[in-house]
Amino acid sequence: MDTTPVRRDLPAGRFAPSPSGDLHVGNLRTALLAWLFARHTDRRFLLRMEDLDRTAVGADHRQIDDLHAVGIDWDPPVTYQTARLAVYDGVVERLTAQDRTFPCFCTRREILDAPSAPHAPPGAYPGTCANLTAAQREERLASGRPPAIRIRSDVTEFSVVDLLHGEYTGAVDDFVIRRNDGTPAYNLAVVVDDGAFGIDQVVRGDDLLSSAPRQAYLATLLDYAPPTYAHVPMVVNADGVRLSKRDGAVTLSDLAAACVSVVDVCSMIYASLGLGEAGEHITSAEALRRFDPRRLPTRPWVFERQ
């Protein structure tokens, strides 16, 4: 069980990568923004490895090295979600004792094929298993299909405040909090960890904006105040598609092999944020001095290596 001391008394921001591979320029830009937002507001800054899913051997250490290389520091220790499995299980048990959950035996295909409620977004859970009788549950268990655990939501939508997008209202359904293989779901783990460590500011890519209402709603069920969000623009390739390793030299190691230094990478990132001129070499400390969230660009950055 994780023995990291819980600090909820001091506000914090965070960066929470999945150690499935090396960080690319888009990840590093988001990490720098999360760091800038936190330090600009005198918050602690925490690093969490979201390693519940597929990971690559050594990727966490390479990510840590790359974050140090671009000038990011954080308040120790680095948290690993796999060290907190007992915590997540305890939260699921607590919610279940409050009749806030139910087992779900549906496959993804069954959910997609099921009739949706009026005005429900595509893929929203239709409530198939929400009111099964005890006998029906036993019958499904006897078939050998293990259930996922879903939250029993009493709202259909929830609103969050985002520093870049303003008030955002999104759909909330009976979403999964523990998968049928026993793994805590992302929407549960991220809320539990943010609440436990006093993270009240979440800066991440705007592709995750639609998940914020579900997470903020769950936070209220767990007696946590939802964080303030800042969903920042993504980094995309020349085709307007989110940047990935398939785009070639986009990690620090690949760029170094192409004779692009860390200093040059930081220069490109800071120029894209309006914190420096093209080719200007500035430190993270200088970027922090210049940082003004009100002047951040709101459109994706098209990354084209010079």
Please write the tens of the pLDDT for every residue from 58-76.
999 999 999 999 999 999 9
More confident residue, 120 or 28: 28
Q: What's the whole-number mean pLDDT along residues 165-194? A: 97
Looking at the domain assignment, is residue 108 inside a domain? yes
3-state DSSP assignment of residue 133: coil
- Does residue 98 lie in a domain region? yes
Say if 162 falls within a structural domain.
yes
By CB atoms closer than 10 A (0-12, 13-18, 19+), residue 225 is exposed
The CATH code of the domain that includes 109 is 3.90.800.10
**DSSP E strand boundaries for 100-246:** 101-104, 148-151, 157-162, 166-171, 176-178, 201-205, 228-232, 235-236
Domain that holds residue 123: 86-189
Burial code of 268-299, b = ≥16 C-beta within 10 A, e = fewer? bbbbbbebbeeeeebebeebbeebeeeebeee
**pLDDT beyond 90 at 121:** no
Mean pLDDT of the chain: 93
**Rounded average pLDDT over 195-217:** 97
Across the range 1-7, mean pLDDT stands at: 50
Band of the pLDDT at 110, cuts 50, 70, 90? confident
| CA atoms of 23 and 47, how far apart (whole Å) | 14
Confidence tier at 111 by pLDDT (50, 70, 90): confident
Whether residue 3 is predicted with pLDDT greater than 60 in this model: the reply is no
CB-based contact 48:87 (threshold 8 Å) = no
Residue 174 domain flag: yes
* DSSP labels, 234-263: PEE-TTSPBP-GGGSS-BHHHHHHTT--HH
Region 201-223 average pLDDT: 97
The answer as to whether 56 is a domain residue is no
- Element housing 136 (H / E): helix 134-142
In a domain, residue 146? The reply is: yes
- The pTM (predicted TM-score) of the whole model is 0.93
Q: How many domains does the chain have?
A: 1
Q: pLDDT band for position 120 (50/70/90)?
A: low
Mean pLDDT of the region 257-281: 96
Residue 41 lies in a domain: no
Q: Between the CA atoms of 216, 219, 225 and 229, what dihedral angle is there, to the nearest 10 degrees?
A: -30
- pLDDT at site 2: 45
Reported as a single tens digit per residue, the pLDDT across 222-236 is: 999 999 999 999 999
Positive or negative torsion for Cα 265, 50, 226, 2:
negative
**Residue from 32, 79, 59 nearest 199 by CA:** 79
